[in-house]
Structure 1
Amino acid sequence: MYKLMIVDDEPQILEGMKRILDWKQYGFVRIETCESTPEAISKVVDLQPDVAIFDVCIGKDYGYEAIRRLNELHIPTKYIIMSGYSEFKYAQEAIRCGVKDYLLKPVERTKLQQVIEKIIVEDLHGTVGNMNEDALNKDRVLGVSYDSLSKLVNRILLMIKTEHAQNITLKSVADRFQMNSTYLGQLFLKETGMKFSEYLMAYRMLLAQERIQSTDEKISYIALCVGYNNLNYFYTHFQSFFGKSPSDLRGKG
């Protein structure tokens, strides 16, 4: 099946990109991440991923320069550039390197989905018709289609998916939208049936459950990765949410 490489110098972005899509449903059985250009070039040469997603700026380096060097080695990887900048010169350089698309951060799930599906069909000669479209288009916490939610709520959900490992709060989200946090919280509750804090906890718990059952990572590390700096706080939430401890879940996994 397919291999994926994600390159960004911000660990939280790497984590968010790993979770933004259900990569396994698209056939990606291996996902590697890198935080520097030299490491990325070395890994792409060794792994030869089917798809590689590069940030446009990786430290002091440019993602498109790494792609240009890799193209010279005739590696058949298909590249996507993501960027927090809408500057034309970056997009122009990316196009010159033959990237499949240039996505602005925060990367929209539906746009990334469309690009990946296009690459699978047109470049990798695979199919996406056998995937469960309902599962792909449903929010894992709410169990409803993203299409049934407003653009504002979808943007909030995307922020949670990409920034859940950070100290994201209703107030910090409201500040970015230049909205009153109480009003935004009411809108979110009315549309989703959950408070912002309840959704955030549920999302973090489901991610933690997935990692506990599929990896041998330490519980303390998993807690940190899903946004809990306080391990006791994590255990309390986990026990409340699942009715069992993380070690019990792993033991029965």
Structure 2
Amino acid sequence: MSLKNIAKSLLMLLVLSCTNQGPRHPKPFQHASKKVPLALLASSTQSYTEAKAQMLTLRNKTRQQLASGEIDSTQAGVLFTEGLLTSIIPHWYGTPWDFNGYTDTPRQGKIACGYFVSTTLLHAGIALDRYKLAQQGPQDEAIALSLHKDYHTFSGFPAGVMAKKINEELQEGLYFIGLGESHVGYLLKQNGELYLIHANYTGDAVVTIQPLMQSVFQYFTTWHIAEITYNRALLRYWLSGEKCVLPYPNLAVQSKK
């Protein structure tokens, strides 16, 4: 091959490498903690569009199984939780936190803690107003998501004592948690261990999952918790696809101390 042809071939390779769009999915976010089970860290192999479509498929299948008596409402709540944890949330790991962030596209733009919760619930198939929910304070958000049912308030003891108390009182599953007056996220109890899934404003300041006592949980003295896995009212909104009307602040709702 002549030098002229070799040069032309190298030029073509250079052009092709510069126009390569890269992998379809972003590089998985590497969590700092080594104490989170790999199953919870796994990134979805689907695109985010496919993940949201899968939640719709899951909803239709779950609705059919409920109607036929194959599963009960508790099992339906578990299926919704698994879908949220494995299809939707993993795409958000590594998304930068910002107090004013409200992106609805994971790994693009920035996200505040309240918008992380409201956006992932919306994209999992609960037709709520993600803006209105995200703009509530932590306790008011717990009230809203509890949908007129009791929510839990834990306070008055050191964080370590509270974590033990929470672990003793809560069933395995996923919960909304409001921390003090300034932060929110998901609380997950799995295999007797507690984790916080949130848009973290400390450290790398990204969406992450952490063992509860390695997170900002330890810096607060009051925590408000509302059920997600066992929240039948919220589950009905998911199954029906109807607009989710949440009860916002100043309603007479009793909390469990």
TM tier relative to shorter chain? under 0.3
**What is the TM-score of this pair, normalised by structure 1?**
0.24
Higher RCO, 1 vs 2 (CA within 8 Å, ≥6 residues apart): 2
Structure with the larger helix share: 1
**What is the TM-score of this pair, normalised by structure 2?**
0.24
- Largest Rg, 1 or 2: 2
